[in-house]
Amino acid sequence: MCYNGSTMKNLLHKLTISLILAVFILSNSPVLAVSEDNFNPNYLISDEEMQDHSSLTREEIQAFLSDNEGFIATWKTEDKDGETRKASDIIYRAAQEYNINPKYLLVKLQKEQSLITDTNPTEKQLDGATGYGITDGCGWTCQSYLNNQGFGKQVDSAAGIMRWYYDHVDTEPWIRRAKQTNIIDGQIIIPQNFATAFLYTYTPHIQGNKNFWKLWNQWFGQVYPNGSVIKGFNSPNVYLIQDGQKREITSMSVLQSRYDPKMIITVPNNEIAGLPTGAPITFANYSILKQDNNYYLVDFDVIRPFDSAETIRKIGYNPQEIIDVEKDDLNAYQIGKVITASILDNKNSPAGRVVNIKENNANYYLKDNFYYPITDPQITKINFPNLKSEKIAITELQNYEMGEILKFKDGTIFGIKGDNRIYVMEDGKKRHIASEAVFNGFSYNWKNIIWTDTITGMNHPTGQPLYLPTRLAVVEKEEAKITTLTPGNTIIKNKMITTPDDKITFVGDEKFTTNVDTYLIAEYDSEKILAGKNIDTVRPLASFTKVMTAYTLLQEGLQMSNTITYNPTTQKCSYSNFRTVKGEQFRNEHLFWSLMVSSINTAAPMLVDSVDLSEKEFVAKMNQNLVKLNLENTKFVDSYGYDLANVGTAREFVKILKTATLNTDLRKVMGMKSYEYNELKDVDGMPRHFDEHSNYLANETGLPYKILASKTGYLDEAGAGLAMLVERNTDKKKFIIITMGNPDYNIRFTEPRKIAAWAMENF
């Protein structure tokens, strides 16, 4: 058939309009519901989950709200005390105060009043946000509701009542208990734990709690996304995560027929052991299976019957390649569309074809009489690594119907150019990986990120953000060995160095009760110590070391506008936690941000190299500064704080922090809330670096003080540490607040926040 210019133009216009419509339809597709088959009314969530108050940071709660694009994502209102705060801040504060999981509060807000996703809620929805006090007897007129009306009070009460249940379950007989038989909605319910029992106490209906369970599992239930290819440490077994189950991939040839082996992520063995087991994946993609006289083509999770052996012959398969199987071997597959000789006559392939249109350079995937637009050629490489693109005329598409725009397959890690968000594909949707810490916690590889264009990114509907469960939120570092720690007044307890009970000392008239081993509060101007605990205990300084590093670098004339090229041979450190490769070039100022805001170890030897000193020479200069400051219990052996022989006391670190922050340039950097920059020369295709301050308090709002500068530190043996220069809001008085030896990394900012608030009230 011959097409004139007008006909060709109309065809191109038709394809363009179809593509735009498909983008709109796909980007507005609804969230898939959780299967109800696994609902167990006797077990909703665990007590550990209910009380995991550190599961989300304030920033992650805000990211969750923003990703769902509901009204409360940007809304500010009164909290329980009448202070105006962001909704995310109110949720976070309630979770921390009552040690209740903020995820629980997010689910309650959606379950009761759809406030996570509703873009235009009524005042009534906001006032009754968590349904607290609204009972079957009196509804919205209940005095218990009227006393707790308003978003801030509702969130606080929803968290508070759960904590109250835990505290009073043994004394209040009306609170439902674990293992106790209940009749709810005419059905026997025996809660298997307290969390489940308390949920029924709060909402005495099965359907209401089923709705809670569905939302919880939809948002927070699964750890590794579907499409993840995982293996355990020191284990050869590889699994595909599909529908929440692990499916063993039985051979390398089977793996390579479906996935690039570089996509495998290594996960803790106990995580694999805890996953339900699905059917193994035994046959390579596009294998021919023979069961009795029936022939099938393996097409991922579908087996497609051939209409005859003759059709198989036409494809060109060698009879010796056909695999004889039993009927049970086919149970894990769905039966797909029959492959006939006529399909082959029309130039179709059972595996499909990737084509490029001569007239407009557009790309499509052709299969079973449908064409699927491909907006980024990288999708072809990821989804069909074994298919080569072929040129065809646009007129050939007349023989096909349009299908959905092709998306990256599940498990793909990608970013959108011009944006710093990274996503993982699951069930056809892109899930925002909430932070760099989450990315690393899931053992994803930065080299596997695909960078795509904005239109392609829009074509992928947005699913729920991906967060890191507390059990995976471990500090990624090598095991350190105690080397030359010599103070003699410390012991090692659960690996963290701790002051013995008989040597615990306090300074000042006021004492703060805390399990943090060391704290100190001092006036900034006079350096007078107002209160403290174990302030002369000699401890590993960890990344507190970097404060002296930064000060010494500026002393040595570090030029912020100069550049440095990464050389792993000369700029290597014991724990290299910086995403870079040999030959990449950086601006010194950007490395300085990485050193002091993100506490990146590798930045230290790179900057030391930039001032033309060896590591040994530079550390000697750091120790010379200690002599000038008359600090006898502090010592440095490296520039980044990883060695346990970098030691000091809280008392002496006051002097170091004061001296360093008198430099206004250094104080400004230590007070940055976040940064982002691009490498000057990129080698690995990942030029962008971004992060928020490693001190999470730096990005909190509503604190009774302003953080002018701060530095975090952590080693197993040191515990978590935080040093801050703060300015009180009321009178602008400045304080130095130091905590060292905080034993609980997952909630490492909870105690410093309390101590700082206590200091603002008492001094």
Structure tokens at 121: 């809620």
pLDDT digits (tens, 9 = 90+) for 690-724: 888 889 899 888 899 999 999 999 988 899 999 99
CB 426 within 8 A of CB 221: no
Structure tokens at 357: 């249109």
593-619 residues labelled b (16+ CB within 10 A) or e (exposed):
bbbbbbbbbbbbbbbbbbbebebeebb
pLDDT digits (tens, 9 = 90+) for 209-250: 999 998 988 888 767 899 999 998 878 899 999 988 899 999
How far is 629 from 622, CA to CA, in rounded Å? 11
pLDDT digits (tens, 9 = 90+) for 565-604: 999 888 877 666 688 889 999 999 999 999 999 999 999 9
How far is 487 from 506, CA to CA, in rounded Å? 19
| Residue 594, CA distances (Å) to 258, 577, 609, 723 in order | 38, 11, 16, 17
Q: Which amino acid does the sequence have at 375?
A: T
Q: Note the pTM of the prediction, 2 decimals.
A: 0.50
Q: Which amino acid does the sequence have at 385?
A: P
| Residue 314, CA distances (Å) to 250, 302, 366 in order | 30, 21, 19
pLDDT digits (tens, 9 = 90+) for 16-75: 434 333 333 333 333 333 456 568 899 888 887 888 887 888 888 998 999 888 999 999
Q: Which amino acid does the sequence have at 714?
A: Y
Structure tokens at 592: 């300085």
**Which residue shows structure tokens 């609170």?**
175
CB 709 within 8 A of CB 734: no
Structural domains present in the chain: 47-221 (no CATH), 407-472 (3.30.2390.20), 491-762 (3.40.710.10)
Q: What pLDDT shows up at residue 756? A: 96
CB 698 within 8 A of CB 476: no
pLDDT digits (tens, 9 = 90+) for 714-754: 988 899 999 999 999 999 999 999 999 998 776 788 899 99
Residue 31 vs residue 366, higher pLDDT: 366
The kind and range of the H/E element at 506 are strand 506-507
The strand pair at 674-678 and 688-692 is best described as antiparallel
Q: How many residues appear in the chain?
A: 763
